[in-house]
């Protein structure tokens, strides 16, 4: 029988195998030696008293004392009268023979898309909201709540989506989730259990959607995208569900036209299907007011998933699913099975932040900030890559730059990386094998205006095909 005790130090586990009689002292000595050699017990770290150790492990105090005395004699421990026994200060972990692979050097400028300006997270407002929750939340708040989410946040989200996104939603049809990725998992699991076997995904589109579909038991099928948005009507026979980004297509940035929206709804109606809408950054629109949700046109056919990953910070891991009535219970059940519900106190804090007006104020500030970064990108291209065509800038914080015909996207990305600049070929977003002009996706959300200018200055000749020796 093995005796385990995890009270010696944080993350330290001691096992004594009582089937090996007469060896308990030797076992304890060796396990403490290993903990010191590996660094699990740090130099100077305090050990429990011999009485406490003996009591926890169910051995005699004399055995624990003998163990400590032996390790003191060997130089692993130091004991002073009237003071706790500690690991000797000059104890050093034995280096592992296994060396991790060397990480590639981080780029000096990284045009990765989908990353917001995390330095602009409204920490003061968030801590204020948490303080309000601590002051006013009911005593039951830290317990298990409804898996679908705290009713306070569901009500606030429903009101916000009606007001800002033109959605048609009531609180009971909102399920709170841990960001878009979990939301999509929950929706696709519910669809798979209801008989769906395939899922249409935009091509080009988000790189993870096909993998998520497969994890949920669905086969991903490409849905082509052109300048008017996704052509859902071209989805293969048998497909009855599709994931779309109608307000700001990932990655091309095009907005689904009204005609395409009507076509998508007609398609879902004819196939008794479902449209899943990724409403990821529609608040950040520059040329006109934000485009309303697809869900507002057909609430019985559309699932809308949103989150605060782009508007506040990815680390909050909070989002929402607006469910058609016939799927609400199934999606809430999947959430219950997944994790019993998202963190309740954070939900209450987000609700307080949104209803106080501070969330809207933050969005206005970020909209202006991203607009300046967008202008910096346009200006930098005009200066360092004149003639380069930039598209997808109507909303969000990424754009697509067209390379000269015949250019090799991957080669341009490699050459840019050699100059310390990370850019991302559009081919990385392709699901099918259709031909497409060479393009790069440039994210600017988490870059300063100066970094945008510096990055484009470093690779301008690569974007125009006029590479010069450097």
Q: For the segment 182-219, what is each residue's pLDDT rounded down to a tens digit? A: 999 999 999 999 999 999 999 999 989 999 999 999 99
User: Can you tell me the distance from the alpha carbon of 194 to that of 189, in angstroms, rounded to the nearest whole number?
Assistant: 9
Grouping H, G, I as helix, E, B as strand and the rest as coil, residue 146 is coil
Tokens of 334: 């999947």
Q: What does the pLDDT read at residue 11?
A: 46
* Sign of the alpha-carbon torsion through 75, 77, 78, 81: negative
User: Taking the CB of residue 79, how many other CB atoms lie within 10 A of it?
Assistant: 14
> Percent of the chain having pLDDT more than 70?
92
For the ranges 19-28, 142-151, 164-173, 327-336, the lowest mean pLDDT is seen at 19-28
DSSP letter assigned to residue 23: -
Between 101 and 207, residue with greater pLDDT: 207
Taking residues 236-252, report their average pLDDT.
Answer: 93
Query: Does 299 have pLDDT greater than 50?
Result: yes
DSSP letter assigned to residue 107: P
DSSP letter assigned to residue 291: P
Q: What does the pLDDT read at residue 5?
A: 54
Q: Which are the contacts of 316, defined by CB distance < 8 A and separation ≥ 6?
A: 308, 309, 346, 350
Q: What does the pLDDT read at residue 10?
A: 42
Taking residues 222-235, report their average pLDDT.
Answer: 93
Query: Does 352 have pLDDT greater than 60?
Result: yes
Mean pLDDT for all residues in the chain? 90
User: Can you tell me the distance from the alpha carbon of 140 to that of 143, in angstroms, rounded to the nearest whole number?
Assistant: 6
With bands split at pLDDT 50, 70 and 90, how would you rate the model's confidence at 463? very high
The CA-atom distances, in angstroms, between 195 and each of 240, 254, 305 are 10, 32, 21
User: Can you tell me the distance from the alpha carbon of 177 to that of 342, in angstroms, rounded to the nearest whole number?
Assistant: 6
Q: What does the pLDDT read at residue 436?
A: 83
Residue 81 CB-half CA count within 13 A: 0
pLDDT tens digits along 353-405: 999 999 999 999 999 999 999 999 999 999 999 989 999 888 889 999 999 99
Is the bond preceding 96 in cis, omega lying within 30 degrees of 0?
A: no
Q: What does the pLDDT read at residue 462?
A: 96
Query: Does 312 have pLDDT greater than 60?
Result: yes
For the ranges 1-10, 271-280, 289-298, 441-450, the lowest mean pLDDT is seen at 1-10
Q: What does the pLDDT read at residue 35?
A: 86
Query: Does 53 have pLDDT greater than 80?
Result: yes
> Percent of the chain having pLDDT more than 90?
67
Residue 413 CB-half CA count within 13 A: 19
Q: What does the pLDDT read at residue 12?
A: 55
**∠ CA 83-87-89 to the nearest 5 degrees?**
100
Residue that has been written with the tokens 């602009």 in this structure: 120
Closest to 345 in 3D by CA, of 313, 318, 321, 307: 318
Residue 116 CB-half CA count within 13 A: 25
Between 24 and 151, residue with greater pLDDT: 151
pLDDT tens digits along 137-191: 988 889 888 999 999 999 999 999 999 999 999 999 999 999 999 999 999 999 9
For residues 278 and 250, the answer to whether their CB atoms sit within 8 Å is yes
For the ranges 78-87, 127-136, 306-315, the lowest mean pLDDT is seen at 78-87
Q: What does the pLDDT read at residue 98?
A: 61
Query: Does 468 have pLDDT greater than 50?
Result: no
For the ranges 79-83, 138-142, 169-173, 457-461, the lowest mean pLDDT is seen at 79-83
Taking residues 207-236, report their average pLDDT.
Answer: 93
Q: What does the pLDDT read at residue 469?
A: 39
Question: Where are the extended beta strands (E) located within 336-466?
Answer: 389-391, 398-402, 421-422, 424-425, 439-443
307 phi/psi in degrees, rounded to 5: -160, 175
Query: Does 1 have pLDDT greater than 80?
Result: no
For residues 58 and 3, the answer to whether their CB atoms sit within 8 Å is yes
User: Can you tell me the distance from the alpha carbon of 381 to that of 372, in angstroms, rounded to the nearest whole number?
Assistant: 14
For the ranges 4-13, 119-128, 204-213, 431-440, the lowest mean pLDDT is seen at 4-13
User: Can you tell me the distance from the alpha carbon of 458 to that of 418, in angstroms, rounded to the nearest whole number?
Assistant: 10
Tokens of 404: 């000269």
């Amino acid at each position: 029988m093995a005796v385990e005790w995890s009270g010696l130090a944080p993350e330290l586990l001691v096992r004594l195998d009582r089937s090996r009689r007469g060896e308990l002292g030797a076992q304890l000595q060796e396990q403490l030696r290993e903990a010191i050699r590996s660094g699990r017990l740090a130099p100077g770290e305090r050990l429990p008293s011999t009485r406490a150790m003996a009591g926890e492990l169910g051995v005699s105090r004399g055995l624990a004392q003998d163990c400590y005395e032996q390790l003191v004699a060997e130089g692993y421990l130091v004991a002073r009268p009237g003071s706790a026994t500690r690991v000797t200060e000059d104890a050093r972990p034995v280096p592992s023979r296994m060396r991790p692979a060397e990480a590639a050097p981080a780029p000096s400028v990284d045009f990765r898309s989908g990353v917001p300006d995390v330095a602009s997270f409204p920490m003061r407002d968030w801590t204020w909201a948490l303080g309000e929750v601590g002051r006013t939340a009911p005593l039951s708040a830290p317990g298990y709540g409804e898996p679908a989410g705290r009713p306070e946040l569901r009500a606030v989200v429903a009101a916000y989506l009606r007001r800002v996104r033109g959605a048609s939603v009531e609180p009971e049809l909102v399920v709170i989730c841990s960001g878009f990725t979990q939301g999509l998992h929950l929706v696709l699991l519910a669809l798979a259990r209801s008989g769906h076997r395939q899922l249409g995904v935009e091509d080009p589109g988000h790189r993870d959607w096909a993998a998520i579909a497969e994890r949920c038991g669905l086969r991903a099928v490409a849905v082509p995208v052109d300048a008017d948005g996704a052509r859902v009507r071209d989805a293969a026979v048998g497909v009855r569900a599709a994931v779309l980004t109608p307000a700001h297509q990932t990655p091309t940035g095009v907005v689904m036209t009204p005609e395409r929206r009507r076509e998508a709804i007609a398609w879902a109606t004819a196939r008794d299907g479902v449209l899943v809408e990724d409403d990821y950054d529609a608040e950040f629109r520059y040329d006109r007011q934000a485009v309303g949700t697809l869900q507002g046109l057909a609430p019985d056919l559309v699932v809308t998933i949103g989150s605060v990953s782009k508007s506040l910070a990815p680390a909050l891991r909070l989002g929402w699913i607006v469910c058609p009535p016939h799927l609400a219970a199934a999606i809430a059940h999947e959430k219950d099975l997944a994790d019993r519900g998202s963190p309740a106190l954070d939900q209450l804090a987000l609700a307080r932040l949104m209803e106080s007006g501070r969330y809207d104020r933050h969005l206005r500030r970020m909209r202006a900030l991203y607009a300046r970064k967008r202008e910096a990108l346009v200006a930098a291209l005009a200066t360092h890559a004149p003639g380069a065509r930039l598209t997808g800038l109507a909303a969000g914080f990424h754009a697509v730059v067209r390379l000269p015909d015949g250019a090799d996207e991957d080669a341009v990305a490699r050459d840019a990386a050699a100059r310390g600049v990370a850019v991302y070929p559009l081919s990385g977003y392709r699901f099918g094998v259709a031909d497409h002009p060479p393009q790069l996706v440039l994210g600017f959300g988490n870059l300063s205006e100066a970094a945008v200018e510096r990055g484009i200055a470093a690779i301008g000749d690569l974007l125009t095909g006029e590479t010069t020796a450097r």
